[in-house]
Amino acid sequence: MVTLLRWTILIAALAPLVYYILVLLAARRFARDQHTARSADPFTPPISVLKPIRGLDRNARENFASFFRLDYPVYEILFCASDPDDPAVPVVEQVMREFPHVPVRLLIGAEPLGVNDRINKLCRLAREARYDLLVITDSDVRVEPEFLRAFAAAFRDPRTGAAMMLFRSDVDGSLVSRLDCLGVGNDFWSSALVAIWLEGGARFIHGAAMATRRERLAEIGGFEAMVHHQLDDFLLGHRMARAGHHVALVPPAFWMVYASAGWREYLRHELMRYVRFRHVRPAGYAGMLFTYGLPWSLAAVAAAPSASVGLAYLVAYLLLRYVSVWVVGVGVLDDPAVRRSWWLAPLRDAVAFPIWLAGFASQRFRWRGQEFRVEKGGRLVPVVPSARAVDERASRR
């Protein structure tokens, strides 16, 4: 029995190594396809940029201002805040005054169609937009001048129903933000490239920056069909692919600006991401077990019949993990934050693995000050605190 367990561990510990090799092959394939797809023929249909906003992110003014410096012939920007007292509103108004030549509108308020405030705003933004091609971005992103040209190129192909864009990381230099960029940026795109390769195309979207055509959006029920889900970006890509439309992956032309956060906030945010993902893709979530090389290599060291075999597993993990991080983070994303932080990948694994385990035991998370319960399929249900709990919190103030 002991021998069987030992060999089971040693064989299973090979899975993360195989995964890292798949990451390398998928990254090489993506780079080759992007080189082949380059075209000098410009494609610049008018674009409406939709930006739901809430609160102030790090470097908010510069993030907003970058959208007013885009190198694109015809586009408009639409902001939407739920409340006129939102701290982002005066910052947007200031930037609007600085760039009076850019067509822009700031909308206040959105009909509460569902629990997802961001999607409530997108429902209104999509109705107000003038143009057919819609580009949606989060408020915590800063774009390059060629941002819209990169997105528009994906829609030259009439089969494209939606598109998402790779991104680079803007971190504050803290250990937390550097680990965050390795996870949200590098590790996510590593797994995404593998999934796109093995599944024959993208069946999801990362919502930091995404695009779609109004007609295609209407085919899947519009944003109104997603107002009770938080992973609306995933649903958009999934439903587009299920409807037979291509979901394109666009080379990076924007920066994800990571918030300055402490360990407690970082761990809570990570757990939220894991809980959401588990309910939307339970099989994929379970499969993440075999992407964590650190715990498996340590288990292999403990189970190895000799010190040399255990050392071989550990060295193979470190080598393949570091190479895969470098190839994706530097080779594909050209991300300076990954270039400076690649050596932290084992620490990222050490932090992420227990959070992944905790994700199995959690049904709830806090998001924007509100607690939610996640049901099967990713549907959000607000958790209404009992009157007693409200009274107890009030008495502590």
pLDDT tens sequence across 329-355: 999 999 999 999 999 999 999 999 999
Same domain for 40 and 176:
yes
Residue 145 pLDDT exceeds 70: yes
On whether the CB atoms of residues 129 and 55 are closer than 8 A, the answer is no
Average confidence (pLDDT) over 59-67: 97
pLDDT band for position 38 (50/70/90)? low
Same domain for 46 and 108:
yes
pLDDT band for position 40 (50/70/90)? low
Residue 52 pLDDT exceeds 50: yes
> What pLDDT sits at residue 394?
45
Residue 21 pLDDT exceeds 80: yes
Same domain for 239 and 197:
yes
Same domain for 235 and 343:
no
Q: How far apart are CA 183 and CA 287, in angstroms?
A: 16
Q: How many CB atoms lie under 10 A from the CB of residue 150?
A: 20
Same domain for 183 and 158:
yes
pLDDT tens sequence across 293-308: 999 999 999 999 999 9
Q: How far apart are CA 123 and CA 108, in angstroms?
A: 13
The conformation of residue 74, written as its DSSP 8-state character, comes to: S
Same domain for 305 and 207:
no
pLDDT band for position 62 (50/70/90)? very high
> What pLDDT sits at residue 178?
94
Q: Which domain holds residue 167?
A: 35-261
pLDDT tens sequence across 91-104: 999 999 999 999 99
Report yes or no on 391 lying in a domain. Answer: no
Between 393 and 301, where is the model more confident?
A: 301
Number of domains in the chain: 2
* b/e map 335-363, b = 16+ CB within 10 Å: bebbeebbebbeebbebbbebbeebeeee
Report yes or no on 388 lying in a domain. Answer: no
Same domain for 44 and 12:
no
DSSP 82-118: S-TT-THHHHHHHHHHH-TTS-EEEEE-----SS-HH
> What pLDDT sits at residue 228?
86
> What pLDDT sits at residue 386?
40
Between 364 and 15, where is the model more confident?
A: 15
> What pLDDT sits at residue 148?
97
Same domain for 75 and 161:
yes
Average confidence (pLDDT) over 280-296: 92
Same domain for 88 and 186:
yes
On whether the CB atoms of residues 14 and 41 are closer than 8 A, the answer is no
Report yes or no on 387 lying in a domain. Answer: no
